[in-house]
Chains A and B, each alone.
Chain A
Amino acid sequence: MSAFVALDNVTHAYGGAGGTLAVDGLSIAVEAGEFAAVVGPSGCGKSTLMKLATGLQFPRTGAVTVAGAAVNAPVKIAGMAFQAPTLLPWRTTAENLLLPLEIVQPYRGQMRRRKAEFRERAERLLASVGLAGQGAKFPWELSGGMQQRASLCRALIHEPQLLMLDEPFAALDAFTREELWCVIRDLHAARKITVILVTHDLREAVFLADRVFVMSARPGRVVAEKRIELPRPRDLEVTFIPQFQDIVHELRGHIIKARQ
């Protein structure tokens, strides 16, 4: 079966012809419905990979395909969340969630007619990440972890086929982070969407992903790939079993090698 998101031997540099390469010979293929995690040293091109896969940047050489089509414009089917929640401070949390619906068709054209329904959907989504009844608050009235949850909701409200997460939990405390792992795990299980997660946290990668890709130092490319065979649904307890620890150790080894 052909991959849902595929980068084939991609090279990319920022800043025109003279720029140093960010990624070089990068190939990755993620299947539909798969949960992929990407780990690697800082500055190796993980965020670049995300931008290439969503058509926010175009490769110098190589090919990018998403959902069977070559990417030559922003993809329009992706929901994205980053380390910073990037919510709009002048909108309430619920209104922030509606933002994608104001842009993506067919919702965009139905905004006026189905507003009440969309609002309800936003409230339901907020409730599903533990933010029930917080929709009327402004983002700056929420804690960092709550904002990050809202940001995840915004990435999901238009029911994208592809969810791109770039270190979304990096700024959170360990307990909130683990709570959100479970939120993402359940969302992925319920909706069967394709997820690409960039993270520095190997436990996070192993807990959530079907496959973990390890990238080399800059210019980045995939140097190792590990299928995580742990059965689903996974419980947080799984992070304490020896098999889990072994996988984390193995990946750690790859990263240490990649840094050199």
Chain B
Amino acid sequence: MNRTAIIVRLSPWLFTIGLLIVWEASVHIFKIPVFFLPPPTAVAQAFVEFAGPLARNSWITLETTLIGFALAVGFGLLLGLLVGWSRTIYAGLYPLMIGFNAIPKVAVVPILVLWFGIGFIPAVLTAFLISFFPIVVNVATGLATIEPELEDVLKALGASKLDIMRKVGIPRTLPYFFGSLKVAITLAFVGSVISESVASNYGIGNLMLQAQAQFQVPLIFAGLVVLAIEGIAMYAVMAILERRMTGWAQRSGFAQS
């Protein structure tokens, strides 16, 4: 490994540590009060002090997010295949989906609460609703962009639509699908935290809301950090999955350079 390679490896850590140092220093230099912007050391203290509640609630948030995400994957994949399969279904559903996607999901939470009461289920459903759209769009795009020549080659062999879907459509859609998972998992966190903070007694979203009510600002930031860590971890899982499943699609050196 040469010098640049080592620096590239270390750079995420260096940048993170750099940010923390700048943050800590600014708080002290500009004498920013703790209840306005707590320094990293105070946040770290909150981590130790509230380790129990943080661990419990972050687990709940993770669980909620993952269940919502799993629903989104299943449903998104199915709907994407349907939309990609038939022009009629595409034409019929597309405006509906655009309209649905345009609705801010926080506005849907009250309805979910009306139907399911506050707590776990609305949070799961919000995570699901907010994250399925990119999956549908990506799967449908993958199917819609099959090279017409390739389709011709197969049709001239007597391939049915299902054959073309199985041999070409689905494999070539996988990179789009796995790419969309990275976006979807991040959105799923947004969904579950939104719902937790407006309509739940559990989860990091709720914990942050309570911390705010009690003016425990370092704890709010600790909550944010937990969310960031969970988000990064899940994103990494999706990225690894993507690379494992669709190595053939990642040939370009563009992103590596």
Contact = CB atoms under 8 A, between A and B. Distances in A.
B256 to A, nearest CB: 16
B53 interface: no
B157 interface: yes
Nearest to B247: A90
Interface stretch (B77-85, B91-99, B144-152, B178-186): B144-152
Nearest to B150: A86
Interface in B150-199: 150, 152-159, 163, 167-168, 171-172
Interface string B126-156: 0000000000000000000001011011111
Interface residues of A, number: 29
A100 B157 contact: yes
B153 A80 contact: yes
Contacts of A75: 156, 158
B149 A140 contact: no
A76 B149 contact: no
Interface string A49-91: 0010011100000000000000000111011111010101110
A140 B171 CA distance: 16
Interface size class of B (residues with CB under 8 A): 20 to 34
A164 interface: yes
Nearest to B159: A103
Contact of B156 (A76, A102, A105): A76
Nearest to B160: A103
Interface in B231-257: 246, 248-249, 251
A74 B158 contact: yes
Contacts of B172: 88, 90
Contact of B167 (A76, A80, A103): A103
Q: Which of B147, B152, B163 has the most CB of A within 10 A?
A: B152
Given A84-B149, A99-B167, A104 B157 contact: yes
Contact of A103 (B149, B158, B248, B249): B158
B156 A54 contact: yes
A51 B152 CA distance: 8
Given A89-B251, A103-B159, 18 more contacts: A54-B152, A54-B156, A56-B155, A74-B155, A75-B156, A82-B153, A86-B149, A86-B153, A88-B167, A89-B248, A90-B171, A90-B248, A99-B154, A99-B167, A102-B167, A138-B248, A158-B157, A164-B156
17 contacts: A74-B158, A78-B156, A79-B157, A84-B147, A86-B147, A86-B149, A89-B251, A90-B249, A99-B167, A102-B167, A103-B157, A103-B158, A103-B163, A103-B167, A140-B248, A155-B153, A164-B156
